[in-house]
């Protein structure tokens, strides 16, 4: 994430000319954030909240109000409903919400992909049928682990058996495009155990896998436990072994890596996430949701209650809105594009986004990285791509550190 933003103050900002531009073109990507969960997982630093007695109807109405302001008739190409745990909301409410969102945006007829995130404890036959019938055609299921003791240590509220049942509910309802989220490198996890878990997942045959290394984000309860000496983080060397094993096992099972954590069967890459990684425009609705409309980066108010309050008072739900500088746009596009394995990002695309010639702008750095076999230039699709090599892929942080412009501050 890049910190380089200013605040906006009025409701006019929600329908300002730069956003009209996207709406005028039609298409694009739409993200919707539903922030409630049964409880907070130990490793989670997302904008998500354990449900106590928050007013879910007021929140859903506010998201629809924001959709009316910012995305009427958008007809997005992709929709992604994330959280939080969207499936935490009951089937009837979800169906009604998607029907209303469709009335406003027309997504059901326009999308090539409409994903909803779900957690096993709250995804049953009823919810599966309701959301599939309402136009959601891709599901992202948070399995995270195939070990009950690890799920318990993460403070997850489902067991492994429940994960497999949720997958079955999805298939029975008609979902033929399913992602499974997994986390590896839990302390004590053995390479053979992880390989065996992956093989079980391969047998299940989802279309997509997202495999994340366990991360220790500032402020999470997992990080606090580690810092208090009550939890031993794996070494970087061991995490690297798991990363390599994950890639090899998934590739040999037909799940091709196309981003640091993403693997898919042929033709099943997540189109919505490719929008992010290609720095293409998107609108985010809901508490804490981000939007990108070159050169404007917008962040909504993070607190669901404050977000609901702002819309109820006819105030802007935006917390920050920044016109990014060309060097920031260029850096951000490289930061995202270099994650795309075997592809990278073309100099033509970088120029279209930023107005800068990235080949010239970073001439000294490219020369060094090419000498170090970290990046290559590749002629492809009538363009020249800058692409991380296998070695560079392991050192993306180092590469980006040297590309970082002076006016950009990375959050920690």
CA-based nearest residue to 17, from 254, 295, 279, 248? 295
Query: Widest CA span of the chain, in angstroms?
Result: 59
Least CB distance from residue 217 to ligand SF4, whole Å? 11
List the beta bridge partners of residue 50. 37
How many CB atoms within 10 Å of residue 350? Answer: 24
Residue from 11, 46, 231, 265 touching ligand SF4 (CB under 6 A): that is 46
Query: What is the C-alpha R_g of the chain?
Result: 21
Which string of x and - marks every residue 2-41 that binds ligand SF4 (by CB under 6 A)? -----------------------------------x--xx
> In the bound complex, what is the minimum distance in angstroms from residue 103's beta carbon to ligand SF4?
28
User: Residue 44 interacts with ligand SF4 (CB under 6 A)?
Assistant: yes
Cis amide prior to 295 (ω within 30 degrees): yes
| Structure-token match 């049942």, residue found | 165
For 63-133, where are the E strands, in sequence order? 78-83, 113-118
| Backbone φ, ψ for residue 274 (5° rounding) | -65, -30
**Closest by CA position to 286, among listed 115, 83, 117, 103:** 83
Provide, rounded to whole angstroms, the least separation between the CB of residue 32 and ligand SF4: 14
Nearest to 18 by CA among 310, 298, 276: 298
Say if residues 13 and 316 touch (Cβ distance below 8 Å). Answer: yes
Nearer to ligand SF4, 37 or 285 (CB): 37
Q: How far is the CB of 82 from ligand SF4 (least distance, A)?
A: 8
44 vs 404, which CB is nearer to ligand SF4? Answer: 44
- The piece of 43-51, 195-203, 311-319, 352-360 that touches ligand SF4 (CB under 6 A) is 43-51
Helix (H/G/I), strand (E/B), else coil: 15: helix
Q: How far is the CB of 261 from ligand SF4 (least distance, A)?
A: 15
* Closer CB to ligand SF4, 40 or 226, in the complex: 40
Q: Name residues whose C-beta falls within 8 Å of residue 244's C-beta, 6 or more positions apart in sequence.
A: none
The residues pairing with 291 across neighbouring beta strands, listed in sequence order, are 298
Instruction: Tell me how far apart the alpha carbons of residues 204 and 157 are, in angstroms, rounded to a whole number.
Output: 22
Residues 119-138 that bind ligand SF4 (CB under 6 A): 119
Task: Assess 400 for contact with ligand SF4 (CB under 6 A).
Answer: no
Q: Does 83 bind ligand SF4 (CB under 6 A)?
A: yes
DSSP for 127-183, please give it: HHHHHHHTT--EEEEEEE-S-HHHHHHTT-S--HHHHHHHHHHHHHHT---EEEEEE
**Smaller CB separation from ligand SF4, 35 or 281:** 35
Nearer to ligand SF4, 39 or 226 (CB): 39
Q: Which is nearer to ligand SF4, 84 or 288 (CB)?
A: 84
Write out the H or E segment, with its range, that includes residue 103: helix 91-105
In angstroms, rounded to a whole number, what is the distance separating the alpha carbons of residues 126 and 119?
14
116 binds ligand SF4 (CB under 6 A): no
Please check whether residue 178 is in contact with residue 138, taking contact to mean a CB–CB distance below 8 angstroms: yes
Of the two residues 38 and 58, which places its CB atom closer to ligand SF4 in the complex?
38
Alpha carbons 147 and 303: distance in angstroms, whole number: 33
- Comparing CB distances to ligand SF4, the nearer of 18 and 213 is 213
Q: Which residues pair with 1 in a beta bridge?
A: none
Q: Which stretch binds ligand SF4 (CB under 6 A): 81-89, 193-201, 242-250, 355-363?
A: 81-89
Nearer to ligand SF4, 37 or 334 (CB): 37
- Shortest distance (Å) from residue 59 CB to ligand SF4: 15
Q: Considering the complex, what minimum distance in angstroms separates the CB of residue 85 from ligand SF4?
A: 5
We find the least distance from the C-beta atom of residue 40 to ligand SF4, in angstroms, to be 5
Pick from 4, 16, 19, 48: which binds ligand SF4 (CB under 6 A)? 48
Residue among 160 and 386 whose Cβ is closer to ligand SF4: 160
Among 19, 62, 85, 293, binds ligand SF4 (CB under 6 A): 85
- Applying CB under 6 A, the span of 44-52, 213-221, 287-295, 299-307 interacting with ligand SF4 comes to 44-52
Size of the site for ligand SF4 (CB under 6 A): 11
Q: Which residues bind ligand SF4 (CB under 6 A)?
A: 37, 40-41, 44, 46, 48, 83-85, 119, 142
């Amino acid at each position: 994430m890049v910190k380089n933003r200013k605040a906006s103050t009025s409701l006019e900002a929600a329908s300002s000319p730069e956003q009209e531009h996207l709406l005028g073109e039609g298409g694009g990507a739409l993200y919707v954030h539903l922030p409630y969960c049964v409880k907070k997982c130990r490793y989670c630093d997302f904008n998500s909240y354990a449900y106590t007695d928050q007013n879910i109807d007021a929140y859903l109405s506010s998201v629809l109000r924001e959709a009316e302001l910012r995305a009427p008739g958008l007809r997005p190409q992709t929709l992604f409903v994330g959280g939080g745990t969207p499936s935490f909301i009951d089937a009837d409410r979800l169906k009604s919400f998607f029907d209303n969102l469709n009335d406003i945006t027309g997504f059901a007829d326009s999308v090539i992909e409409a994903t909803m995130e779900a957690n096993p404890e709250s995804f049953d036959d009823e919810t599966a049928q309701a959301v599939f019938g309402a136009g959601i055609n891709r599901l992202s299921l948070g399995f995270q682990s195939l070990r009950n003791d690890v799920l318990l240590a993460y403070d997850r509220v489902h067991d492994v058996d429940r994960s497999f049942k949720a997958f079955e509910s999805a298939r029975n309802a008609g979902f033929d495009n399913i992602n499974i989220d997994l986390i590896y490198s839990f302390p004590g996890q053995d390479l053979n155990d992880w390989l065996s878990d992956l093989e079980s997942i391969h047998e299940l045959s989802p279309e997509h896998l997202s495999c994340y290394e366990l991360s220790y984000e500032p402020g999470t309860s997992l990080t606090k436990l580690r810092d208090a000496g009550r939890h031993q983080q794996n070494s970087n060397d061991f995490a690297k072994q798991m990363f390599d094993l994950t890639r090899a096992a998934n590739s040999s099972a037909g799940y091709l890596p196309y981003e640091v954590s993403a693997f898919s069967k042929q033709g099943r890459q997540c189109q919505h996430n490719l929008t992010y990684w290609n720095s293409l425009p998107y609108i985010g609705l809901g508490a804490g949701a981000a939007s990108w409309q070159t050169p404007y980066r917008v962040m909504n108010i993070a607190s669901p209650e404050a977000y609901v309050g702002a819309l109820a008072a006819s105030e802007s739900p935006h917390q920050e809105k920044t016109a990014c500088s060309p060097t920031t746009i260029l850096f951000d596009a490289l930061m995202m594009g270099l994650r795309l394995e075997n592809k990278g990002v073309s100099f033509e695309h970088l120029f279209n986004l930023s107005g800068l010639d990235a080949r010239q702008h970073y001439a000294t750095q490219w020369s060094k990285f090419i000498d170090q076999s970290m990046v290559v230039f590749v002629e492809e699709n009538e363009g020249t791509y800058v692409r991380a090599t296998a070695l560079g892929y392991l050192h993306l942080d180092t590469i980006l550190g040297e590309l970082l412009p002076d006016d950009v501050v990375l959050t920690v």
